[in-house]
Amino acid sequence: MSDTQLMDKLASLAKRRGYVFQSSEIYGGTGSVWDYGPLGVELKQNVKALWWSAMVHQRDDVEGLDAAILMHPRVWEASEHVDVFTDPLVECSNCHRRFRADLPEVEGGQCPTCGTRDAFGEARQFNLMFKTFMGPVEDAAAVVYLRPETAQGIYVNFINVQQASRQKVPFGIAQIGKAFRNEITPGNFIFRTREFEQAEMQYFVEPGTDDDWFERWKAERMAWHVGLGIREDKLRYHEHAPDEMAHYAKKAFDIEYEFPFGWKEFEGIHNRTDFDLTRHQEFSGKRMEYIDPGTNKRFVPYVVETSMGVDRTVLVLLADAYREEEVEGEERVVLGLDPRLAPIKVAVFPLMKKDGLPEVAERLHQALRAAAVPSFFDVAGSIGRRYRRQDEAGTPWCATVDGQTLEDDTVTIRDRDSLEQVRVSVGKVVEWVRERL
């Protein structure tokens, strides 16, 4: 199977099973933004909940925040996004399609769309921030930007959070939220989009301890991804060369995954030094220093940032979990998602639509729902077809109510990956599932 075929298969499975739909599809879609369907929103929520739990709930030294998307326009001058958050853009003199000048297929001078040679003039710098207007007057004074990273909402609240939580440096602030970039060339399904979500954490440290914290967070984040069940041989670090580094970074490592279209970043770890806080101090005139209560030492903290794309992580998880295999002479497609990530944990089937089996199955399904275990009830089609649908959806367990249930009050639970079947008492299914989550 070619790489393009695999991406097509993933996108088609994602649509068929309700993971991801093209935004505004009935109008032809936009190609640069996507909607998450019933299973996709669950998978995404599960990723975010696990991240939040690891970052905020299980640590003493990281606080949560939910800052607004629209911020004062001076924020983006201070952060230098107005000046330098750009990509080089060229336009074909024949078909007028626009491309990023640094794409390999554009660098030779030939237009990838219409084939015109020497198609491009000088590249110009194109700012990736979306602009809109705050308030009822649409003039230059009312221009605001949709945030291109969530990080700035954290920096401008550094003193607020530190004082309210009484945290001492080193400590961090974590946030999950939407970010927007007017990418010149979005693509590869949900990999590069114009609206996306980031899960970012800014860790404030004393200057001089930043290299050490950088290494710690770099290791911690990789371990977190491995803990989600992502294949280790598909993960690696990539260190940014000086010319790849963002304007704020002293050091940067990407965590990359080997997607069907190559090794690409889905999380960045950055040493942002005191760049952002110092610039905000300068532009706002407000103190961004921290005073160490023990030593009375004053300093503007350095920041080690971990910045994960939630949508890209969803793509990593889908690509990593997707497999085609033969079982008992039949081909099946499986999403082998970790049970903690799977949108549906259990599917409940009555083997037949008679002898009271649907009623018993419905009761079990409702018991799972009441215990907040996402469950799906299905009576349609042969048992084999019902299994296949759940394999594709990534459901780890299917519980079947059959003739024996009426005799001994047990159901068969079939494991998605090993295909093993065990019998469990109806009254113990909730507990059985919970133990495995």
Residues that bind ligand GAP (CB under 6 A): 149, 151, 181, 183, 192-193, 196, 198, 200, 265-268, 305, 307, 309, 311-312
Task: Provide the strand spans (E) within 169-218.
Answer: 171-180, 195-205
Q: Is the CB of 148 or the CB of 358 nearer to ligand GAP?
A: 148
Separation between Cα atoms, residue 19 and residue 17, nearest integer Å: 6
Q: Is the CB of 128 or the CB of 379 nearer to ligand GAP?
A: 128
Provide the minimum distance between the beta carbon of 350 and ligand GAP in the complex, in angstroms, as a whole number.
42
Overall residue count recorded for the chain in this entry = 437
What are the angstrom distances between the C-alpha of 71 and each of 16, 75, 126, 154, 179? 38, 7, 21, 11, 12
Q: Is the CB of 167 or the CB of 307 nearer to ligand GAP?
A: 307
What are the angstrom distances between the C-alpha of 242 and each of 100, 199, 210, 249, 266? 20, 25, 18, 9, 19
Q: Is the CB of 194 or the CB of 389 nearer to ligand GAP?
A: 194
Phi and psi for 429 in degrees, rounded to 5? -65, -45
What are the angstrom distances between the C-alpha of 264 and each of 258, 260, 315? 6, 10, 11
Q: Is the CB of 268 or the CB of 339 nearer to ligand GAP?
A: 268
Provide the minimum distance between the beta carbon of 325 and ligand GAP in the complex, in angstroms, as a whole number.
30
Separation between Cα atoms, residue 392 and residue 334, nearest integer Å: 5
Provide the minimum distance between the beta carbon of 248 and ligand GAP in the complex, in angstroms, as a whole number.
8
Provide the minimum distance between the beta carbon of 26 and ligand GAP in the complex, in angstroms, as a whole number.
23
Q: Is the CB of 273 or the CB of 410 nearer to ligand GAP?
A: 273
Provide the minimum distance between the beta carbon of 18 and ligand GAP in the complex, in angstroms, as a whole number.
21
The DSSP code for 185 is S
Q: Is the CB of 69 or the CB of 379 nearer to ligand GAP?
A: 69
Q: Is the CB of 150 or the CB of 400 nearer to ligand GAP?
A: 150
Provide the minimum distance between the beta carbon of 211 and ligand GAP in the complex, in angstroms, as a whole number.
19
Q: 269, 278 in Cβ contact below 8 A?
A: no
Q: 76, 152 in Cβ contact below 8 A?
A: yes
Q: How many other C-beta atoms lie within 10 A of the C-beta of residue 38?
A: 12
Provide the minimum distance between the beta carbon of 227 and ligand GAP in the complex, in angstroms, as a whole number.
18
What are the angstrom distances between the C-alpha of 434 and each of 6, 105, 345, 374, 420? 33, 51, 10, 11, 18
Q: Which helix (H) or strand (E) holds 262?
A: strand 262-273
Q: Among all residues, whose Cβ is closest to ligand GAP?
A: 309
Q: Which of 178, 215, 204 is nearest to 36 (CA)?
A: 178
Q: H-type helices in 344-399, by residue range?
A: 357-370, 383-393
Amino acid found at 191: F
Q: Is the CB of 274 or the CB of 391 nearer to ligand GAP?
A: 274
Q: Which helix (H) or strand (E) holds 41?
A: helix 38-52
Q: Is the CB of 215 or the CB of 265 nearer to ligand GAP?
A: 265
Provide the minimum distance between the beta carbon of 180 and ligand GAP in the complex, in angstroms, as a whole number.
9
Provide the minimum distance between the beta carbon of 252 and ligand GAP in the complex, in angstroms, as a whole number.
8
Q: 239, 271 in Cβ contact below 8 A?
A: no
Separation between Cα atoms, residue 45 and residue 25, nearest integer Å: 23
Q: Which of 45, 53, 3 is nearest to 344 (CA)?
A: 45
Provide the minimum distance between the beta carbon of 143 and ligand GAP in the complex, in angstroms, as a whole number.
21
SS (H, E, C) 154-173: HHCCHHHHHHHHCCCCCEEE
